[in-house]
Amino acid sequence: MPSVISSLFQDASIDRRVYTDPALFDLEQKQIFAKVWHYVGHESQLAAPGQYISLDVMNQPVLIIQGQDGINRAFFNRCPHRGAQLTRQSCGQAEQLVCSYHAWTFDTCGALRGIPMSSGYEATPVQDHAEQWGLTAVPRLENYAGFLFVNLDRQAPALEQWLGVNAGNLLNMVERSPSGLIEPFGGIFRMTQRNNWKIYLENLHDGAHALPTHQSSVLPARQTSTLTQDPWSKLQADIVSANGQSPRKMAALSVNCFEQGHSEMFGFRESRPDTAQQQEYEAQLRQFHGAEKAEDVLRTDRHIALFYPNLSVTPNWMQLRVITPISVNQTRVDTHSFRLVGASDAVNRRIISFANAVNSPTSLIRADDLENFERIESGLRVRERRWISAHRELLKEEQPVGPSHAMSERYVRNQFHAWRNYMEQAE
């Protein structure tokens, strides 16, 4: 298989089958997704014993719960008896976990605490080794700056190593809070897209598509921005119309490509508006951090930090997007927004306005992009033409890692170097 894998990505050409072949999709699940870290939630959601989050990670039901001892643990959400899922709520609080089927009961540290109607188990492994009938731990749970991640691979490198230098972008989100605290708010936008997961990632720093693709949303947004009297409509219109930047401006927009397929792109929208509320917030931040550090935090204007293959972080608008491949041509994208605890409602409302304008199912920007993703998915069915191209700036930026800009396809090549490394790794 390794020789087959290396033939699928050459210099800057990518074989169409990496987007269409179900067998390669299965191999990606095993070789890539089973070995990387997955964002599962924020520690503020586990603020007291018994609070939990539950979700699927790679189709495995997982439960992250704070124990009565104050420690957060991750378990598979599955009863050891006959296998029922213990909770179907996405979050909640429980004094103990009671299985709905035969009421086996577990404490919040995962230990088996009781079996009703326990006669009949005499001299069986269930009675003799009750300590083995607790919940099964997920191999790894780690916390970076309050962001919780799990890994299904016991041997995986530490979370911080996987995050690499890009970790600073997660830290920047926390540092933007005038209290040092952030918490999820506004719910999650969940969208299932009809495209391979890589097609989505390859779009995230693509400055070259902005003008042609987003013309249909940029033009009406510009009009709305001039005509509307409502400041929130104007903000959303300005967020949408910022996509209409010239190729010259996009070429001046920095992108950095890092190891492991990660990358970051700088901001191209006004994230420090000239308003009384913003000034009040910036004063709060100076009080919390000191003037120099506060300025550093605000100046770190990153629009997207991409953690290959499954997380996109937008620090300057307090947002995370989790990318979950469902099948070779279906991908789920969950968008999480975070509140700056201690900042005014007006400042936090900007965060939700951004999510509405860019990531909601009704976003005009999303509609533009989804149209392209589906066209790519459809076009790649053509068998007569094998390769797709990611050649832009290849001569100037031959190595995968290094500084780049939003008109270059270096970050796409960098993703495929990472893809090949994962896919060729021995099992």
Binding site for Fe ion (CB under 5 A): 369
CB closer to ligand FES out of 100 and 287 = 100
Stretch that binds ligand FES, among 102-110, 128-136, 194-202, 252-260 (CB under 6 A): 102-110
Classify residue 160 by its DSSP letter: H
CA distance 404 to 100: 54
Stretch that binds ligand FES, among 29-37, 44-52, 98-106, 414-422 (CB under 6 A): 98-106
* Partner from Fe ion, ligand FES, none binding residue 369, C-beta < 5-8 Å depending on class: Fe ion
CA distance 306 to 204: 8
Stretch that binds ligand FES, among 5-13, 97-105, 128-136, 399-407 (CB under 6 A): 97-105
Site size with ligand FES, rule: CB under 6 A: 10
CB closer to Fe ion out of 65 and 199 = 199
CB closer to ligand FES out of 70 and 83 = 83
CB closer to ligand FES out of 99 and 333 = 99
Q: How far is the CB of 62 from ligand FES (least distance, A)?
A: 17
> Of the candidates 420, 193, 172, 153, which has an alpha carbon nearest to the alpha carbon of residue 308?
420
Classify residue 205 by its DSSP letter: T
Binding-site member from 99, 265, 318, 343 for ligand FES (CB under 6 A):
99
CA distance 116 to 104: 7
> Of the candidates 374, 322, 323, which has an alpha carbon nearest to the alpha carbon of residue 194?
374
CB closer to ligand FES out of 112 and 347 = 112
CA distance 347 to 178: 11
* Partner from ligand FES, Fe ion, none binding residue 84, C-beta < 5-8 Å depending on class: ligand FES
CA distance 11 to 143: 37
The reply to whether 76 sits near ligand FES by the rule CB under 6 A is: no
* Partner from Fe ion, ligand FES, none binding residue 82, C-beta < 5-8 Å depending on class: ligand FES
CB closer to Fe ion out of 281 and 373 = 373
Stretch that binds ligand FES, among 81-89, 268-276, 364-372, 411-419 (CB under 6 A): 81-89
Ramachandran category for residue 189: left, alpha or beta (phi over 0 → left; psi -120 to 50 → alpha) = beta
> Of the candidates 253, 261, 121, 118, which has an alpha carbon nearest to the alpha carbon of residue 201?
261
The reply to whether 82 sits near ligand FES by the rule CB under 6 A is: yes
Site for ligand FES in 103-142 (CB under 6 A): 103-104
Stretch that binds ligand FES, among 16-24, 82-90, 138-146, 394-402 (CB under 6 A): 82-90
Secondary structure percentages of the chain, helix, strand, coil, to 5: 40, 25, 35
Q: How far is the CB of 389 from ligand FES (least distance, A)?
A: 53
* Partner from Fe ion, ligand FES, none binding residue 79, C-beta < 5-8 Å depending on class: ligand FES
Q: How far is the CB of 243 from Fe ion (least distance, A)?
A: 7
**Tokens linked to 142:** 């780690």
R_g of the chain, CA atoms, integer Å: 23
Phi–psi pair at 392, nearest 5 degrees: -60, 125
**Tokens linked to 296:** 């550093």
At residue 136, the 3 state secondary structure works out as coil
CA distance 185 to 48: 18
* Interface residues toward ligand FES, by CB under 6 A: 79, 81-84, 99, 101-104
